[in-house]
Chain A
Amino acid sequence: MTILIVDDSRIMRNIIKNTLTGHARYANCQYLEAPDGREAQRLIQSQAIDLLLLDWNMPMLNGLELVKRLRADAVQAKLPIIMITSESAKYSVIEAVKAGVNDYLIKPVSEKLLMEKLERLGL
């Protein structure tokens, strides 16, 4: 499985990645990283991704905009996306879900919640 982690904070990307690799189930996944939406979009177009873990507030192209672009693209319409962001207001979550994210996680990342949400997606 190939997982793409997108966050403008390198530390946050590492935290998410370490959280996942700490579980046997995700230890042998291939991990890709991108610091902003534009770089993420480039990566997604160039290779097959199975799961996208995506921040919202990022320079160049923000996470929400990227989701909208991906969902408009027939090839990526089904790509599982979990948004991981500090944006905690309910209207923000609704906006993201409307744009097409499969699930939503509020930072700081809780390991338990992340695992639950991955399980819910059947990943």
Chain B
Amino acid sequence: MKRLIPLTSVLVLALCASSPALAQNGNGNGHGKGHGAGNPVQQDRDDDGDDDRREGRRNGNGRENRAERDVPRNHRSAEVRVREIVGDPPREGERAVRELRRGLERGESVVGREVIGPRRDEVRALLQGCPPGLAKKDNGCLPPGQARKIDRSQSYDRYNYLWRSFGGDGGYQYRDGYLYRTAPDGGLLGYLPVLGGILSTGNVWPTQYTYQQPPQYYSRYYGLNDRYQYRYSDGVLYGVDPKTQAIAQVAALLTGQQIDVGQRMPAGYDVYNIPYDYRDQYVDSADRHYRYSDGYVYQVDPTTRLVQAVIQLLT
């Protein structure tokens, strides 16, 4: 019978050094409380140190096992995040490596979920009605009593195709900071705040809008500013002033894809794209490929395309 067990730090080191494929992220930070208007995908920042517990720790006993010796020295600058594995508790590193390799070959040795951000379709769930301060009028949302600004609308409308990839029936129209989705008959279905619109530096974060606190690891990887509270939504990492709730920084663009050990690497990672500073450490070979996304390196089986490891990059 399968059992879920956390790896000890010693095992983590052995696994990291010998094969990043055998380790993966911790239990995610999907245990947060809601923010804003009760959207279920919003989560609190994981400030309880849980993130650190998930990360591999170096063996402190001063001894170096074979797995450590086999790995290039600069490889050790990267942490491999470990979550849970299926199998018996290992007694020594090498045995664990062998067992986990067998398990990986069976496709059953690693479970869990890497939470980077809410899925796009969750984030893009339309907010109902009209944005604050606007009233529904003529199948749109306008400031009360204000006539539609024809010139600006026409100018905007020329580029509504830029949001075509959001999909769904009907269309999208941008107006004054928000993206409105309309039904094929022209009726208003809802709206979304968008980057560069209401989600621009200096603007107050819309209270109704979904976001998630990014993993603590991002603070180190992206060098985030302690003064701001960081929020992830729809592929963008924003820094928000906690006092004013104003967006102070657009910190990073992310794919926002949740890629987990054991799952098939999603489409769109066919080309080797490892950051230059890490290319000596993560080199494609016949039995493993490496791909980068959103601050992590993913080790992928070239044949099955299954993700074998999620690797943090220390700065």
To the question of whether A and B form a pair in one complex, the answer is no
Where the two chains meet, the residues of B that have a C-beta atom closer than 8 Å to any C-beta of A are none
